[in-house]
Chains A and B, each alone.
Chain A
Amino acid sequence: MALPTGTFTMDRTGRIVTTTISNNFPEKLSLEIGHAVIDAFRKAKAAEVVLTEISMNFAALKLTARELRGGAIVFVAPRDSGDNR
């Protein structure tokens, strides 16, 4: 399966406002990522760990999200093969 790449913005209501993710990828994918990210920010805040940015590192993909007034801007990027992080 091809890896998505690009950026999208989700508002606090969970709606995708802007996206540069290719149309080849279903919107459902961006929605799932966005909701998970916003949920992570909210739950962290509830646990008194206030976060402004969060990165999830997978072997083949990196997701980076910045908190945006209850919403988030999410960067999706395949990883370089030499990046071991």
Chain B
Amino acid sequence: MTKKPKILLLDDDQDILDLYKEMLGALPSGPEIQTANSGARAIALLEAETFTLLISDLKMPKMDGLQLLTIVRKRFPSLRTVVMSALNDQQFKDRAYSMGIDQFLEKPRTGKEINYFCECIEGLLTKGESTGGFRGVQSKSLMDIIQLECLSQSSSVLKITTGPVEGRIWIENGEVVDAVAADAIGEEAFRLIASWKGGSFEILPPELGRKRTIHSSYHALLLETAQAIDEAGAPSAVAEIPHGETAPPFKVDAAPSAPPAREREPDTADSKLFDSSRLPGIKFIVAVNRAKPRPPASWGLENPEGVGDWVDDTVNTFRRLGEKYQWGDFKSIEARGLQSNVAIITHNDHAIAAGWERSLAWAQVRDGMKKILARWIS
């Protein structure tokens, strides 16, 4: 059964909230609507539940709409956002779009405007909100955006956010000169950002004179990165084109495949695995919850469910054998493969498997698995 979309409506005027709740509740997709009359209340609700769409007023006392959007973009990057305002102020509109909102809408006044407003919201609710990838309008790959900036000899800073992690790429006169992501800098950071599967990004004004840490041409950089992504089996990052900008006139990446019907592991699980994705030599990670069958949390895998099922089956089979014949606690599985070596460890109800470069010594793999487990537990 298809889950109903959920809208969080934020306005400091209770009458407006009641009116919009009634109006949006009649949309064909039958959304569930919750209301908040302050930014703080809205954030508390967003933390407690998953919403499809946030509709926020711009002008509010204490925390205004733009402040709220800053927090929302950082903490809930996949949430679709609509800003409503009684004023058609271009400056506010530009600022809101630069923050990655989906729509800036004027509060409707006439019956016709109400119809347009409702159609617009319905469109946002039904356009494949959970397809993954960088939340965006046109689903350009991040590599496309970088290529566009370089081809046009632009200078800019790309700020890319995925979950709690942020990365920046500095482009100066059409060349990528620096990148920073988490603890990594230079080409390592660039590759790390390129490996991210989703999030959102902004194009910030240039910071000319940035110390250069990347000396490869952007052609070479993009080629190497594309090869690394191919080898890792990870889909290329798909980035957002903010609404205020014109979509570049070249290829549009295919949208990532639709999410599985089962409920996914929580995003925190992905985030924990993502934290481990910078370990040297790691190629993929997958975490299976054996107590609650659901699509596994994963990083770097094209078919996480297939690998997750294998991990689950294998661990269960050998755990049962060990119990039956009293071989003591099940500790781990280590396997040599044609493409990667694989190690599996368990923690409570979870089994965590990681693929490693074959050149890595087993001592390094075991050390890496300990680090993954430590991050997972934390």
A binding-site residues for B, Cβ under 8 Å: 1, 3, 29, 32-33, 36, 39-40, 43-44, 46-61, 63, 85
**B217-259 CB contact bits vs A (8 Å, 1 = yes)?**
0000000000000000000000000000000000000000000
Q: Does B164 contact A (CB under 8 A)?
A: no
**A55, B331: Cβ atoms under 8 Å?**
no
Interfacial chain B residues near A48, Cβ < 8 Å: 302-303, 306-307
B310 in contact with A43 (CB, 8 Å): yes
Cα-based distance from A61 to B322 in the complex (angstroms): 9
Does B282 touch A at the CB level, under 8 Å?
no
Q: Does B340 contact A (CB under 8 A)?
A: yes
Bound-complex Cα distance A56 to B329 (A): 11
B342 within 8 A of A: yes
Q: How many residue pairs bridge A and B at CB < 8 Å? A: 92
A58 to B342 CA separation, bound complex (whole angstroms): 17
Tell whether, in the assembled complex, residue B321 and residue A32 are in contact, meaning their CB atoms are under 8 Å apart.
yes
- Taking a contact as CB atoms closer than 8 A, the residue among A49, A57, A58 that contacts B307 in the complex is A49
B330 within 8 A of A: yes
B 324-342 contacts with A by CB, 8 A: 325-340, 342
- Contact at B318–A56, with CB atoms within 8 Å? yes
Label chain A's interface by main secondary structure: mixed
- A63 CB contacts on chain B under 8 angstroms: 318
Known: A36-B321, A46-B310. A51 touches B331 (CB 8 A): no
In the complex, whether B152 has a CB less than 8 A from a CB of chain A is: no
Check if B306 sits within 8 Å of A51, measured CB to CB. no
Query: Smallest distance from the beta carbon of B23 to chain A beta carbons, Å?
Result: 48
Residue B366, interface by CB 8 Å: yes
A36-B318, A52-B338 given as contacts; is B328 within 8 A of A47 (CB)? no
A29 and B322 CA atoms in complex are apart in Å by 11
Give min CB distance, B154 to chain A, whole Å. Answer: 40
Given A1-B325, A47-B309, is A55 in contact with B355 using a C-beta cutoff of 8 Å?
Answer: no
Query: Is A29 touching B325 in the complex (CB atoms < 8 A)?
Result: yes
Q: How far is the CB of A8 from chain B (nearest CB, A)?
A: 15
How long is the Cα–Cα vector from A51 to B353 in the complex, in angstroms?
A: 14
What are 29 A-B contacts defined by CB distance under 8 Å?
A33-B321, A36-B317, A39-B313, A40-B313, A44-B310, A46-B306, A47-B310, A48-B306, A49-B307, A49-B310, A49-B337, A49-B339, A49-B355, A50-B337, A51-B335, A51-B336, A51-B342, A54-B333, A54-B336, A55-B335, A57-B331, A57-B334, A58-B322, A58-B328, A59-B327, A59-B329, A60-B326, A60-B327, A85-B331
Interface status of B314 (Cβ within 8 A of chain A): yes
Given the known inter-chain contacts A53-B336, A54-B334, A57-B331, please indicate yes or no for A1 contacting B321, CB distance below 8 A: no
Q: Which chain B residues in 278-333 approach chain A with CB under 8 Å?
A: 302-303, 306-307, 309-310, 313-314, 317-318, 321-322, 325-333
Residues B327 and A58 in contact, CB atoms below 8 Å apart: yes
- Bound CA span A3–B333, Å: 19
Partner of A44 from the list B317, B321, B335 (CB cut-off 8 Å) is B335
Please, how many angstroms separate the alpha-carbon atoms of A40 and B328 in the complex? Answer: 20
Name which residue of chain B comes closest to A84, CB basis.
Answer: B331
CA separation between A3 and B338, bound complex, in Å? Answer: 32
Residues of A contacting B337 with CB < 8 Å?
44, 49-52
User: Would you call A58 and B338 a contact (CB within 8 A)?
Assistant: no
**Smallest CB separation, A69 vs chain B (Å):** 15
Closest 7 CB pairs of A and B: A59-B328, A60-B328, A47-B306, A58-B327, A61-B327, A57-B331, A54-B335
Please report the C-alpha to C-alpha distance between residue A46 and residue B329 in the assembled complex, in whole angstroms.
28
Q: Which residue on B lies nearest to A3, using beta carbons?
A: B327
Assess the B342–A49 pair: CB atoms within 8 A. Answer: yes
